[in-house]
Amino acid sequence: EAMDWQAQADGTSQECGCCYMDYSPSSMVPCQAGHTFCVGCVRRQVQETVFGIASNVVCIPCMSTCGCKSTFQFSKVREVLPRDLLRCYEKRQEDDALLKAALPGLVSCPHCNLRVEVPEEQRILRCPRESCGRETCKLCGEPPHIPLRCEEVEKTNAAVARLTIEERMSQAMVRTCGKCKASLIKEEGCNKVTCPRCGQIMCYLCRKKIEDYSHFCQHALAPDTKCTACIKCSLWTTAKEDDAQAVREAKEAALQEQLELDPTAIQLDRRPIGPSEEPKHASGGAKA
């Protein structure tokens, strides 16, 4: 800030093309066409690119209002990014490159989400990440069970039944993008949510891909009031109550499945099953 004040005092400051504030030349980052922007605006542009719906994260576009189609050199942007943001930016570039490559043998580790290329004839995914290193069946995500097929693996004992139900309850709180498989959690806003990775729009209630607001009930209703005139999804509901209801339904469905597989497995284990049905929301997620 001292350098910025000094630059303004001696007349050497430059105006940021985004926020229109004056800064010292050392606090500015130019696009390849020569338009200059302050470090703060460049960082915010990178954040919006990384965590927003940008389809191209390889190059950071110029922010000039003159219609400039140029981009920032990565070497220039890299110099002004905090370490954590730079790491997220590089990770987003890597994820998008893998997604666009659409490699047929690319499988995500169910424990750490690292994408690993597994040969078609190989059934076991061995995670190469040192902090993980687990082995799982690439088809069902369970521990290796060769020579048994996935549907032949015995899953009817009490411990496994409990784990299955609890996993289903936890998964119920998370919506998954139908296009890129990114996990979404809504903290606030309406039920029309946009995937922060690929931009696909979905309904938070029924989890279906949608195009616009026509998917939702158009009748005038008080908040959290169910419409009696149509069966369309409500645009405004409480995220906490929505998730709690999804967890209850997932628990009931999973419990019924386990009872059909082996009634004794659940009956012998009388402890409460699953996490709290009033989930605590994460600090980040999809926005309406």
Cβ atoms of 60 and 72 within 8 Å: the answer is yes
Q: Residue 195 catalytic?
A: no
Q: Return the C-alpha torsion angle 131, 137, 140, 142, nearest 10.
A: -60
Separation CA 281–CA 287 (nearest Å): 13
DSSP letters, 105-159, are TEEE-TTT--EEE--TT--EEE---TTT--EEETTT-SSP-TTS-GGGS---SHH
Q: How many CB atoms lie within 10 A of CB 41?
A: 19
Catalytic residue among 140, 180, 190, 217, which?
190
Q: Annotated active-site positions, please? A: 190
